[in-house]
């Protein structure tokens, strides 16, 4: 019995060491990104903005920032969505399930929008109900049909040519959904819209570091606070130099998973 308990103790110790090692070392990207683009001063689009995914953590941060800048923001929501946080910041809402193409078209018809922003996506659930491809494709097509020219799309590192940048466990766990996001990115690139694609890595609800940048480098990877992704997204919206670009969002102060627990 003592031998068994001793063996279990060794196994637990090894497991703890592996977890600690991953937090401190294996979750870290040792690649130094190139072609960095810092967020510039905010520039208003001069008209209404329609956001899809605005009830999610990152999307809500984007909506809050836009409202702080005094923008006219409408968020497309499902009938069952909790809109209390949106109402609290003065955002408008329109009912539209992204998986329903006609409802998405009607959402765009509700106003003359200058910009569309999508953070739609999920890491789980029935493939047929995931918005990563179908929902985003509906939004892209409706934006183009409605005459919206500017489109900012938040996806994830691991999508497309950035597949090997994300840590191996995440890459394997999210392989299917990353492929769907990649197809949505390709659809946007072929749409004729003035797009910017922003791919964040591991996300958390920590504080803003103020150090996040956009990297025109598919090998860049870091963890990041959602508020910093929102800041990069809102800044890119009015920055013409980001049009037609796909960026990995990068925070040099959050290279390891452990950094997300230090706030």
Rounded percentage of the chain residues whose pLDDT exceeds 70:
87
Tell me the pLDDT tens digit for each residue of 175-211: 899 999 999 999 999 999 999 999 999 888 889 999 9
Question: Looking at the domain assignment, is residue 24 inside a domain?
Answer: no
Residue 260 has pLDDT above 90, yes or no: no
Q: Identify the H or E element spanning 203.
A: strand 202-204
Question: Looking at the domain assignment, is residue 6 inside a domain?
Answer: no
Question: Looking at the domain assignment, is residue 192 inside a domain?
Answer: yes
Tell me the pLDDT tens digit for each residue of 217-255: 999 999 999 999 999 999 999 999 999 999 999 999 998
* Cα 30 from Cα 13, distance rounded (Å): 27
Question: Looking at the domain assignment, is residue 11 inside a domain?
Answer: no
Mean pLDDT of the region 143-169: 94
Question: Looking at the domain assignment, is residue 220 inside a domain?
Answer: yes
Question: Looking at the domain assignment, is residue 53 inside a domain?
Answer: yes
CA distance readout (Å), 200 to 23, 54, 57, 76, 157: 19, 16, 13, 22, 5
Question: Looking at the domain assignment, is residue 23 inside a domain?
Answer: no
Tell me the pLDDT tens digit for each residue of 98-152: 999 999 999 999 999 999 999 998 865 555 568 999 999 999 999 999 999 999 9
Is pTM beyond 0.85? Reply is: yes
Query: Which residue range forms the structural domain that includes residue 63?
Result: 31-261
- What is the domain count for the chain? 1
The CATH number covering residue 235 comes to 3.40.50.720
């Amino acid at each position: 019995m003592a031998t068994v308990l001793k063996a279990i103790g060794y196994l637990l110790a090894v497991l703890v060491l592996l977890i600690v090692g991953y937090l401190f070392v294996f979750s870290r990207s040792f690649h130094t990104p190139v072609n960095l683009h810092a967020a510039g001063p905010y520039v208003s689009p001069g008209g209404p903005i329609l956001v899809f995914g605005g009830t999610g953590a990152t999307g809500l941060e984007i909506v809050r920032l836009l409202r702080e800048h005094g923008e006219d923001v409408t968020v497309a929501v499902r009938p069952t969505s909790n809109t209390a946080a949106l109402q609290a910041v003065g955002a408008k809402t329109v009912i539209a399930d992204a998986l329903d193409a006609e409802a998405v078209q009607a959402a765009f018809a509700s106003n003359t929008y200058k910009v569309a922003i999508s953070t739609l996506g999920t890491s789980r659930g029935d493939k047929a109900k995931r918005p990563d491809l179908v929902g985003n494709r509906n939004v892209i097509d409706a934006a183009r049909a409605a005459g919206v020219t500017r489109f900012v799309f938040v996806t994830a590192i691991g999508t497309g040519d950035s597949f090997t940048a994300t840590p191996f466990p995440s890459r394997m766990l999210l392989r299917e959904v990353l492929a769907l996001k990649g197809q949505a990115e390709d659809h946007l690139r072929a749409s004729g819209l003035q797009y910017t694609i922003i791919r964040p890595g591991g996300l958390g609800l920590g504080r803003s570091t103020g150090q996040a940048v956009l990297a025109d480098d598919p090998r860049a990877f870091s963890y990041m606070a959602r508020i910093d992704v929102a800041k990069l997204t809102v800044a890119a919206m009015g920055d013409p130099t980001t049009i037609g670009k796909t960026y990995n969002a990068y925070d040099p102060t959050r290279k390891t998973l452990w950094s997300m627990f230090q706030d």
